[in-house]
Structures are given as structure tokens and as C-alpha cells.
Structure 1
């Protein structure tokens, strides 16, 4: 029972709920009125004021660490799922159906915890970053933990390029390595990886390239934050945009490739230009412009010597920025164009001279540039479903971006430069097909801007730098004072929290997009995963093949496909003319024997058929499993071939040279 209050106590204002009252220092502390327990026993000790006890302070600490609960729960579920997921038998849905249900539960908990945390302005700013890092672990580290070998045939190809650079001791021309000389004309990434392999003392880049998706995704975080903070200080908008970017970035540029690094450098250049070359409002002049031009120039050089497409995307983005008055500075664009042309007219000239006629013919052919060729059409329930999941995910983000532009009018002016950067890659669809991948690359380059405006569509209101500054100035001019200004800033924030608790719709949208990332990104792991048995089989073949040998396979979807490409030739018959493929299906052994004839000793001709080739052929509409079985059985029965190696992942046959096999 609370003791009765004295007149002095009643005159003090009541503390706000949850706050700690300021201690009073009376001249003479009045005696406390005795409670019922003092009627019989008089006490000379003053009673303790319950408001001074520590539970309120502990409660504040509890609120401060409360966001850790869903984060830790999600990571615990993820860890349990990784330990109880079996990837030995993947179906046409890839990792989607193989994952333990705890993974999906953990991803849902992580998304809900992020949304609850990022919308509450009372939460410390580090918690959204912690959730984003948790998302990257679940998105990009799961495969590295589950699969004992690196994913993706193109990553293995780039490992072969690094290995060749280490063994050859220098760059080579087309006369020496044929079509693979294109990598020697853009050697920046591979030279850096060769140096890293030697620095780490590892056998090859395959020792760490399984973790490259996580590393390259982390490389994007800083430039993304710098770009978004150029247009807003609203951390809800910034971190929701970052989350949407990672959740929608299923294209797969993050694997061990020059594109992964070039894309991060591309965003780095845009961050420098947007933050150091802009003249927004009363922003200060170009202090240290020479220094920042040198920084941007160094990033551009690294891009230009590493990748063919990214410099072109960067040029159109910088030119688009020049359309805005406050960013109309031609120095970055001209610097990029000069460096790009200098490289194209020197080191890259041999490749461009040969490819220029085809490049010119593709200009303006939008239908041809976005069309998929033979062997790139998803086939089967799993492949079609995961392909549609990716399309719906990208389409939803783009629609949200349009809604954000319409709904948040303040962004249409303040973030106009980012809108132009997002739209700048679209004309590249007219320029080239880029091996039937241009539509995916355009989507990847416009995603940073699209994610920003899509995030704005999920928030009740957004605050930009200009709007915030004007609001503070107006409040100051009205004589509200610093305390009133602070309270005015807190009121809409608290209202946003209350509104957010009732707005389940944005959370469901965010959750659906985050879950859709998994099939979009990992739905084709049956194609991209090569079990250790397949790696061992292919390695055994290359250890056996002498210089000048030829390896014939259905397609290039197997590990180490480009090992020793300077001394061993390859022929992938599914990339040949369709009529010739039909001849192989009709009479496999005889047709393949004719194709493989003519190899001079000490070289030999080998036929290789692996699990990865089968998966790629079946899921991309090349040949069915029954047709591939027919080819293998024909080769196995033929006296023109003899078996060399076989395990659960594939077979290797060698063409006999005696008996006129080549006739």
C-alpha cells in the first residue's frame, strides 16, 4: 500500500510513464507519513522511493537488446537447417525442396524482425545493419556450407583462367589460346586473383571461390549506403532499400567472376560522383575535386581492365546524370570515356576487331537481343517454376518502384539523379545481346535505384535531406525552440511506428520477396552443383590427357571444363548446328567417332558425359535424359571406344586409334 503523500510531494509533477524522475534535494526531508505497519512500530529509517529503484533502467536495456531476440532465433534456425539439409539428391527445384523447413522459418523470423526493428526510430541504428548481415549469411553462405565443392561451371572456368595465368607466366594471344585470349585482354580480375592465390599460399582459387558470393555481396554494402544517404537521412528508407536490393538480386553476378568486382566498383564510382560532384541546394562547392577525380579514375581503370560490359553501363549512367542541373559535371563522364576508349584501342583491340561486325549487326535488334537461344529455355516443372519465381520477383520490385515514385512526391525531385541512373541501362537492350544475357545485366544495373524507390512505396512517409532541413528551419523560425523541434521530429516517427504495427501489407510484401529469392537464386542448383565424384572424374581425365588431346562432351556444364585450355581442345556437340545434333542422336557412336578423329599423337580423343551435363541438357531443353542414355549406351557398345573411367557421376571413353576408327 502506498503511503499518503505530503503537500510537498503533491506539488511535484508526475513523471512520464517509463521515465526516471529527476531526484529532488530538499532542504529538510519531511518525515514520511507512517503506513499501516508503522501504527504499532515506529521506524526512524526513511522509506525508499520506489521510483529510484533500477527496474526502469534495466527495462531500457531490455528494450535496447530486444531486437537481438528474432535475429538470434533466425540464425539458430538457419544453423539447425544447414546441419539437417541433404543435398546429395537434388531434384528439378534445386535447393528449394532440399532445404530443411527450419530454414524457411528462420528466414521468415529474420524478415519480420528486420521490419519491426527498422520502422522503430527508438531502436539503435546498428540493428538494421545486423539484420542485413544476417540476411546475407542466409542468402549467400548457405550454399557454401551445404555443398562440398564450388558451384557454377563459369566459376570453375574462371578458376581455369587464373591457373593458366599462373602457369603461363604472362598474357597470351589468340594464336596461342584461341577464343580464350579474350580473358588475357581484360586480365584485371584474373591477375588480382593470381596474386591472391600466391599470397594465401593455396593450391588454386577453387579453395575459396565457394565463399565469393558472400564476399562480393558484402563489397556492395558500403557504396549502396553511400548512394542512398546522398538522398535521405531516413534510416528506414535506407535499410529497407538495402534489404530489397539483396532480396531481389537473384541474377547471380556475385559468383567468382570479373562482373562481381566490376559491379561493386561501378557503384563506388556512382557514389563518388553523386556525393562529391553534386551541387544540391546550398551544398558547398567542389572541395578537393582533383582528389576525388583521381579516386574515381582509379576505380574506372580497375573496371575497364577487368570487364567488357560494365564500362559501357557506367558511361551511360554518368551521361544520364549530366541531364540534371545539379550534377551537370562532365569531368567524370569524359574521364571514363577516355580511359575506356584507350583500353579498347590498345589491349582489347584484337577481340573488338573480330567481334565488331556482329556487334554492329545487333544494334537496334531488340527482339534478337532479348531472345534466348537453343538450350536456354527452361524445361520441366521445377525449372519453369523457379524461372517464373525470378520473373515475378523482379517484376514486383519494379512495380513497387513505380508506386514509390508516384506515392512519394518528394523523391521525384530530390532523388531524380538516382531515378536517371536506374533508367540509364535500358538503352543497352538496343545495343547488344551480350550472349543472350543483356536483359539480365540490365536488370542488375537498374536494381540499386529500383530498390530505393520500391522501399519508399512500403513506408508511410519518407524524409529527404532537403525536406528535413526545411522543416527544422521552419520550426526554428516559428520560435518553437530546440526542445519543440526535437519533439516535432519524434511525433511523426512515433505515428509511423503505430501505423506500421497496423500495416501488415508491407511486411507481407517484404516477406514474399525475401522468400522468393531462394527459388530464384538456388532453384537451378541441380545444374550448378558438381558433387565431389564428378570433380574427381574430370580431374582424373585431365591428369590422363596428354598435350594436344581433345575432349568431347555434350555441353560445358562440368567442373574443370577449361583446365589446361592452352594445351587441350574441347568440343561441345550440343552447341553445334541442330542438324548435326540430330545426326548424333540418330547414330551416336559412329558420328562422334568421325567428329573425334584426326587427333595427332601424343594427343588422344575422349568422350565425357557427366551428371552436370545431363542436368543442364534436360532442364534447358537440349536433349532429354532418354536421348543422352541412348548416346552413352551406343558409345559403350561400340568397338570404336574403350572405357577409361567411371563412377556415380559420369563416364569417360577413349576413341581407339587402331582399326580405322576415324574412317
Structure 2
């Protein structure tokens, strides 16, 4: 009788747990469905023409914020009840990525960033000529590292896509990039810990930390994915099962440099396949980007020192990089390598040139700039706290530290300029996110587990706000209206070799078609003395420029996004470009040849006489 009673109670507990599991699954599914639906309904309510200096957040309706809160809450509950709803974490993360990265292409309807349009210009060049021109003087680095562009051109030819069709697809590139990143990082993080809460929390934090806009349609976005893929292989099937503690050189090292990744079950065919894919990834990286191979080489060198990874992998990476520099990219390196070598170590000198002086810009721009800095600073602070917690709890962290430090070595060994700081942060952000997750979830059996969830929820909400400000806060100048795209399309369709194109600023859909026919002269980049003369008498200055016998044609283009860019950054006084347009319209030396509500194109009158 007692045995039967115990069986009955056990059965009732099992049924209760099963029923509660069903209820939790239904609630989670309903919550994520509602989060997706209210986000989707918020899109038609978001008016991109109303953007101000605070960027995207200035036009987002309450439905969007409700969706952010709900999907974040579902993710936190997914962490808590991971054994009951294991699907909730990836589902919530996917929806979160859509919220962060799919909102802008769906609302704006066009490709952001002028440099993304410039990348399409290289693809257009390859489509028209069948390859690159390694001695091309303009955008020569792209022609000498054409891997990304060649792949894009082959895909575009196969799908019969022109520049505008490519731009229409490329606007969703950040969505695809970030999905690939979190998939690969999930595999990497699992080599550092078996605490799944840390893994998933780190992926969520990385999605917020990745605000610097390096995941758009670009060579660095592809190279970054290949970099993570190479690390996945080196931490997985390519990592020997031999423990590092057998190496005599490291017997006296402290505990915190112990090998963290688990031993992998290797086989001959798996190793051969992994080596093949590793070589493929390295070739793709060295053929597409200049900075990423260096970071990969430093990272693999660290793994070969602090882990039993074969030194052949960093050697292979360096050899591939050297081969590319001295042979395929020889036309570029023969001209620029001496200068690059002379400037080694000067990267930090260019940092200040990339840092916005918030005292000279509009309040909204200053808030946006400081939001990005605050987000990065908060993640670095959390990561430091997580690292200290790892040491206190005697957790092996050397591998993560190596991968975190390796990108920073590029600062002292290249002259890449201030832009390198943002790229390096991009490469450091996954490992900063990992340590930040450790800070919030230090131990699966911690007594303060409930407090971890309570603290995590508001932190990720603030991080989401920081991302939207940092990544989308400058969208007033980075977003281009359909009218601006139409004007640029008309302009580049008229091109002929030897055309001088005077631009108000580079912030518009530029150089995406027939780009080699133009010589570009952005007004905003002129020296202060020359800029003052342009502001005072633009028609006279431009007439002098176009009178040069080198030019076979000449245009001036001014757009809404150009005005937003120069005025927001304080390059020229507000209204300067409006006055410039009026002066050109009043001058007999210029003809207004194209106009819509967001763009005007003028042509020098002297060139119309030859038609």
C-alpha cells in the first residue's frame, strides 16, 4: 500500500510538472508571437522623413519599445526555464536581431551608408569589365583585395541583378551577418564554459555591443564571419586533445592560464575536412580585407602558445597574408607599403580625428556619440568585473583573454588610422560580452541566481537603448530617401570619362555605378580657407574649377542627407547649402538639370555647348 501511495504521488508530481511545462511553453510562444506582431505593426507607423539628430529613436512608436521589453523579458524567462523551453532562447534572440537590424531597411526602404553604395560600385565595375584593375588609382585597395566584391559580382550576375537591385538586397546584410555571427559565437563560447546561461547571455550582450556599424554590406563583415569560422575550427576539430599542462615550458604558469576548451573527438576525415575549410577561410580573409588577417594571425599565435593548437595554423595565415601582399596586391603595396611602414605605430594619432568633438555639434549628435561611448564603457566595466569573478572562482580564462587581447596588438603594428579603433572594438566585443555575461551569471549554483535575472533584465534594456542610439543615432545623414537614390541613379547614368563631380558631402548614394568616369570633389572636405570662399561665392569658385581643360563634363550635386551631415557636424553654418543652390540657380554658368524634393543636380553650362 505504501509503495502504491508513493507511486501515485510521484505520478501526480510528474503530471503537475508536465502541465506547468506546457503552460510555460504556451506563455513563451504567445509572448514571442505578440512581440513580433507589435514590432511588425510598428513599422508602418515609423516615418523616416521625421528623423532628427537623435536618429531612429526619434521616430519609433511605443509599439516598438513594447516589443523590445517583451522579447527581452521572454529571453530572461527562457534563461530561467531553459530545460522546459529550450527553444525560447534562440527564438527570442532571433527576434531581437530582427528588431535591431531589420527595422531600418524595412522602414527606410533604401541602403544606409554611402560607403555601402561605394562597395556596390566595385561590384558594378567587375560586372562590366569582368574583373578588377589592380593599377586603378581610385579605390585601389578595393581592386587589390577584391574577394568580397568578386563573390558579390558572381552572385549578382547569376541572379541578373544591377546596382539598384544589389542595393535593395544589401540593405538586409546586417540581419544575415548578425545571425551568422551569433551561430558561430555560440559554438565558440561553448568551448569556454558549460554554463549555458553564460553562453546565451553573452550572445545577447554581443548583439547589443555590436553597435559600431561594421556588419553592413562590406568586406569586413564577410571577413569577420570567416574569422569567427576559423576560430570555431581551431577551438573545435583542429584543437588536439593533448592537455597544455604536459608542456614543460608552462608547468610553472599560474592557474588562470589553464586550457579552457574541452577535448574534441577527432578523426582523420574530420581533421582533413577542417583543415580544408580553415584554408578556405584564411584565403577568403586575405583576399578581402587588410586588417582581419593580422588579427587572426595574432589570435592563432596566442592559441598556439596557451593551448595545444599547432603553430602551423598561424604560420599558414601569415604566409597567405605575405603572399597576397607581395603578389596579387603588389600594384598597391609597391606604392603604399613604404609609407605604411614609415607610419607604423601612428594609429593612435589618428584616433582623435575619428572622435567627434561633442562640444561643437548639435545636442542630439552629442547624446548619440556619448551613448555609444557609454555602452562600450559599460560593457568593458562588466567584462573586467567578470574577469575578476573568474579569477576568484578559479575558472580558466586564458583562452578568452588571448582572443580579447590579440586584436589590440594591431594598434601598434599598423598605420590603419583611427578607424582601426572601431574595428578592433568589433573584434574584441564577443569576448568582452562573454566576460560581461560571467559577471552577471558567475555560477550555475549561485545562491544569488534570482538576483542575476533581476539585474540582467534592466541592463539589457539599457544596452538596447544604447545600441539604437549608437548604431542608428546618425541616421538623419546615413539614411537616404528614394528621391536621393533616384537623383544619384540619374547622375551616374549620364556619366562619361573625365567628369568632375562636385559633391556637397560624401553622405549620399555615391559611386555605385560607372564610378571610374568621375573625379570627386566633396565641398565639406575642403580646407577651411577654401571652404570659406565657397560659402561666400560658390558659383564663381565652381566655374573656376570646371574651366580646367582636363574635364570633359561637370556636375554639382546637393542632397538632403548631405545637408544633414555637414550641419549636424558643424562643418558649415545651417542653410549654407540652400544658399549655394540659390547662387547656382541664379548663375548663367550653371543649369539645373535634375531636381526633386531631396536632391538637385546642376551642370556647368560650358559642357552643354558641345552636345
Note whether the superposition's TM-score is higher than 0.5: yes
Q: How does 1:141-220 map to 2 (within 5 A)?
A: 141-174=102-135, 177-204=136-163, 205-220=166-181
Are the structure 2 counterparts of residues 421 and 284 from structure 1 closer, same or farther at C-alpha, using a change threshold of 3 Å? closer
CA contact (8 A) 2:170 2:217 kept: yes
SS in 1 for 2:361: coil
Are the structure 2 counterparts of residues 506 and 415 from structure 1 closer, same or farther at C-alpha, using a change threshold of 3 Å? same
C-alpha distance in 1 between matches for 2:390 and 2:199: 15
2:563 matched to 1:614? yes
SS in 1 for 2:139: helix
2:321 matched to 1:359? no
Aligned to 1:34: none
Matched length = 585
Worse overlay, 556-565 or 95-104 = 556-565
1:389 aligns with one of 371, 375, 393: 371
Q: How does 1:39-188 map to 2 (within 5 A)?
A: 57-174=18-135, 177-188=136-147
C-alpha distance in 1 between matches for 2:608 and 2:132: 41
C-alpha distance in 2 between matches for 1:654 and 1:285: 68
SS in 1 for 2:600: strand
Aligned to 1:342: 323
CA contact (8 A) 1:369 1:438 kept: no
Worse overlay, 365-374 or 190-199 = 365-374
Are the structure 2 counterparts of residues 433 and 138 from structure 1 closer, same or farther at C-alpha, using a change threshold of 3 Å? farther
TM-score scaled by length of structure 2:
0.90
Are the structure 2 counterparts of residues 10 and 321 from structure 1 closer, same or farther at C-alpha, using a change threshold of 3 Å? closer
CA contact (8 A) 2:495 2:517 kept: no
Worse overlay, 548-557 or 632-641 = 632-641
C-alpha distance in 1 between matches for 2:566 and 2:94: 36
CA contact (8 A) 1:375 1:617 kept: no
- Tell me the CA shift for residue 15 of structure 1: 5.4
Are the structure 2 counterparts of residues 369 and 425 from structure 1 closer, same or farther at C-alpha, using a change threshold of 3 Å? farther
**Deviation string, structure 1 residues 231-288 (Cα, Å, up to 9, x no partner):** 2222111110000001110011111111111001001111111222254649368643
Aligned to 2:263: 283
Q: How does 1:473-512 map to 2 (within 5 A)?
A: 492=445, 499-500=449-450, 504-512=454-462
CA contact (8 A) 1:374 1:622 kept: no
C-alpha distance in 1 between matches for 2:548 and 2:394: 65
C-alpha distance in 2 between matches for 1:222 and 1:553: 41
2:477 aligns with one of 527, 533, 541: 527
CA contact (8 A) 2:193 2:199 kept: yes
Aligned to 1:487: none
C-alpha distance in 2 between matches for 1:600 and 1:362: 33
- Tell me the CA shift for residue 371 of structure 1: 1.8
- Tell me the CA shift for residue 361 of structure 1: 3.5
Query: Where is the helix percentage greater, Structure 1 or Structure 2?
Result: 2
- Tell me the CA shift for residue 155 of structure 1: 1.1
- Tell me the CA shift for residue 651 of structure 1: 1.3
SS in 2 for 1:570: strand
CA contact (8 A) 1:362 1:369 kept: no
C-alpha distance in 2 between matches for 1:544 and 1:265: 38
Root-mean-square deviation (Å):
2.6
2:547 matched to 1:554? no
CA contact (8 A) 1:362 1:368 kept: no
**Deviation string, structure 1 residues 527-560 (Cα, Å, up to 9, x no partner):** 1111111111122222333332221112221114
CA contact (8 A) 1:549 1:599 kept: no
Aligned to 2:280: 298
SS in 2 for 1:651: strand
CA contact (8 A) 1:107 1:515 kept: no
2:45 matched to 1:13? no
Aligned to 2:254: none
1:598 aligns with one of 545, 548, 553: 548
1:564 aligns with one of 494, 510, 514: 514
2:422 matched to 1:440? yes
Are the structure 2 counterparts of residues 411 and 334 from structure 1 closer, same or farther at C-alpha, using a change threshold of 3 Å? farther
C-alpha distance in 2 between matches for 1:168 and 1:376: 43
SS in 2 for 1:625: coil
C-alpha distance in 2 between matches for 1:191 and 1:376: 38
- The structure number with the bigger radius of gyration is 1
CA contact (8 A) 2:121 2:514 kept: yes
Aligned to 2:582: 633
CA contact (8 A) 2:590 2:602 kept: yes
C-alpha distance in 2 between matches for 1:220 and 1:190: 20
SS in 1 for 2:556: strand
C-alpha distance in 2 between matches for 1:637 and 1:253: 42
C-alpha distance in 1 between matches for 2:458 and 2:184: 28
- Tell me the CA shift for residue 353 of structure 1: 2.2
- Tell me the CA shift for residue 431 of structure 1: 3.1
Q: How does 1:311-330 map to 2 (within 5 A)?
A: 311-324=293-306, 326-330=307-311
- Tell me the CA shift for residue 445 of structure 1: 0.5
- Tell me the CA shift for residue 121 of structure 1: 4.0
Aligned to 1:575: 525
CA contact (8 A) 2:440 2:452 kept: no
Aligned to 2:259: none
1:452 aligns with one of 416, 434, 437: 434
- Tell me the CA shift for residue 374 of structure 1: 9.7
Aligned to 2:257: none
Unmatched runs of 5 consecutive residues or more in structure 1: 1-7, 23-53, 463-491
SS in 1 for 2:606: coil
CA contact (8 A) 1:642 1:656 kept: yes
Worse overlay, 71-80 or 199-208 = 199-208
SS in 2 for 1:364: coil
CA contact (8 A) 2:441 2:452 kept: no
Are the structure 2 counterparts of residues 583 and 203 from structure 1 closer, same or farther at C-alpha, using a change threshold of 3 Å? same
